[in-house]
């Protein structure tokens, strides 16, 4: 079995694969102040609750956009799983053709999502990740990553709205029954939900026009992908495991290369 870690600004997503079978997936809040022992204790507790034997983990891979945690999580894997995980870094074999100004600027999560989406769905593609930021990644008809869009994340936008005003409450992010809200809560939910649905629809429309390709497939992943996809028609597929499946694929690809 192998373990995959997708380290984001808000959460760390874990997945354990036995061959191609996903045995377990879970997430832990990202906290740069936690030690490797604290993360290790949480990991082993979850393993125990799911009847997983840590000694069966024979390898691992980490994708991170939080450099402060790189050493912490690598040490956790070495101490608690007795493995030295692969880490996505410049020079890591991905098979993705990067046709952007500076490939080193592209976040590891975007790279993994693109590789995974191309493998699973072909190309051309628009890959949308509803994470801490909302990212749009564009893969052309030659299977080249040619760039994209980075917009604010849904939760971060709500946090900014609440923190920047004295009287607005924190609300659940969900679809209200109507666009016109009758109270403060539904007013805010309408602005966040329909605002982001409109943002996604408009950006996808503009990308398709710029690409001169109306049939380009749109794949979405991330925490809010399902509720947004239910509202708009431009998202063809929601794949919540896109990143973790991509990490499993990259582990296999680079492990074979190393042997």
In angstroms, how far is CA 105 from the centroid of its own chain? 17
CB-based contacts of 40: which residues, under 8 Å, 6+ apart?
76, 79, 80
Write down the catalytic residue from 6, 109, 129, 245.
Answer: 109
- Stated length of the chain: 259
Buried b (16+ CB within 10 A) or exposed e, 82-97: ebebbbbeeeeebebe
20 catalytic per annotation? no
Tokens of 224: 């809010």
Expressed in angstroms, the distance from the first to the final Cα of the chain is 17
**Contact 128/232 with Cβ under 8 angstroms?**
no
Q: Measure the CA dihedral 90/94/99/104, to 10°.
A: -20
The catalytic site residues sit at: 109
């Amino acid at each position: 079995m192998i373990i995959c870690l997708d380290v984001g600004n808000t959460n760390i997503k874990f997945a354990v694969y036995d061959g191609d079978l996903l045995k377990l997936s879970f997430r832990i809040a990202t906290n740069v102040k936690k030690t490797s022992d604290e993360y290790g204790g949480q990991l082993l507790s979850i393993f125990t609750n799911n009847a997983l034997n840590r000694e069966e983990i024979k390898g691992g891979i980490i994708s991170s956009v939080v450099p402060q945690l790189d050493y912490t999580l690598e040490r956790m894997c070495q101490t608690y799983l007795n493995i030295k995980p692969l880490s996505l870094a410049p020079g890591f074999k991905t098979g993705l053709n990067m046709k952007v100004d500076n490939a080193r600027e592209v976040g590891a999560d975007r790279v993994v999502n693109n590789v995974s989406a191309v493998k699973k769905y072909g190309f051309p593609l628009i890959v949308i990740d509803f994470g801490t930021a909302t990212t749009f990644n564009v893969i052309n008809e030659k299977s080249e990553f040619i760039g994209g869009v980075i917009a604010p994340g849904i939760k971060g936008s709500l946090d900014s709205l609440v923190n920047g005003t004295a009287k607005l409450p924190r609300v659940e992010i969900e679809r209200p029954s109507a666009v016109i809200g009758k109270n403060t809560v539904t007013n805010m939910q309408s602005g966040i939900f329909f605002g982001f649905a409109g943002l996604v629809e408009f950006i996808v429309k503009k990308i398709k026009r710029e690409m001169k390709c109306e049939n380009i497939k749109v794949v979405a992943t991330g925490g809010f992908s399902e509720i947004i996809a239910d509202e708009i028609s431009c998202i063809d597929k929601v794949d919540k495991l896109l990143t973790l499946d991509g990490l499993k694929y990259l582990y296999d690809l680079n492990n074979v290369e190393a042997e």
